[in-house]
A = this chain, B = another copy of it.
Amino acid sequence: MLTNILSPMVLAFLLGIIASRVKSDLRFPDSLYQSLTIYLLIAIGLKGGHKLSLAPFSDVWQPSLVAVGLCCTIPLWTYGLMRRVGKFDVPNAAALAAHYGSVSAVTFSAALAFHDILKIHYEGFMPSILAMMEIPAILIGISLARINTPSESDLTNQPVKEIARELLAGKSSLLLIGFLVIGFLVGNKGWDQVAPLFDVPFKGVLTLFLLEAGLVAGRKLSDLRKGGAFLIGFGILFPILHALLGIYLGKLAGLSIGGATILGTLAASASYIAAPAACRVALPEANPSYYLTAALAITFPFNIVLGLPLYHEIAKVICQTN
């Protein structure tokens, strides 16, 4: 665990939190944040596509199935729990379901870096799994809200099909899927051309990105009390539960320890790029304070700092006992 906390990525994240707690004037220009996001998505896509082109299809289909299964069911029980135990109203429960069913590309990147540093092998095609898990949960979350709301002929109620189209054409899945395909097609020669920009400095860029993430998470910390103890408990316990499930099923689907841990991390992670944007438009009655705080100020830091080493330990136990 110490190796993880002492990585430049995690330390930069903590520095970002400190900076925002001491009210530093450090700010990333908006366009730097956007540029880093574009970079990360392209880099993940290219590398994943490249590795996917080297993997036999037989290795890929089982984990893919498990991944899709996970991200389609997580929103269901999350929604149920939020409604019954958390006493949230329909839109808020649905928004939280969408966020926790979907995945975080940055948490994913941190998981890759974690494994690279410890030199633990994982399946190179994991980015394609990431790409598959991003959208379904968001659609399911929004559909849950639609089903459970007395339908008024509301002019704001975009049809779910239209939302699906927008999500697929949305920045994050377009770049991820697009560059997966590009990485898949270009072969070694093409990979060598882009690797100096999109692979070699990747961990450095991630460090920069996590500094910015820390700045935002730090500011959100003051919203924690608005969410209350329930949200904090949920934001930590559910990821652990989802990680357990992900690791276990990943193992069954034939993934290595590393691959299973990463699948677990994906299941544990909550989206805070694609999901908030979609929920804001499709579920405006849901309060961003809840889902952004949970995803960004609770689950994200937990996963990055403590979750990763924890999931790794869990994976070791699960994989050895089987």
Contact = CB atoms under 8 A, between A and B. Distances in A.
Interface stretch (A15-23, A125-133, A220-228): A15-23
A11 B169 contact: no
A42 interface: yes
Interface in A176-219: 178-179, 181-182, 185-187, 189-190, 193-198, 200-201, 203-205, 207-208, 211
Contacts of A157: none
B178 A15 contact: yes
A8 interface: yes
A56 interface: no
A77 interface: no
Number of copies of this kind of chain in the complex: 3
Interface string A18-40: 11001111111111101100100
Interface in A36-80: 38, 42, 46
User: Secondary structure of the A side of the interface?
Assistant: helix
Nearest to A19: B174
Interface string A150-191: 000000000000000110111100110011011001110110
A113 interface: yes
Closest 7 CB pairs of A and B: A197-B204, A29-B31, A197-B201, A193-B203, A24-B169, A15-B178, A26-B171
Given A194-B203, A196-B200, 10 more contacts: A12-B182, A15-B174, A19-B169, A24-B174, A28-B35, A28-B38, A31-B32, A42-B208, A193-B207, A197-B208
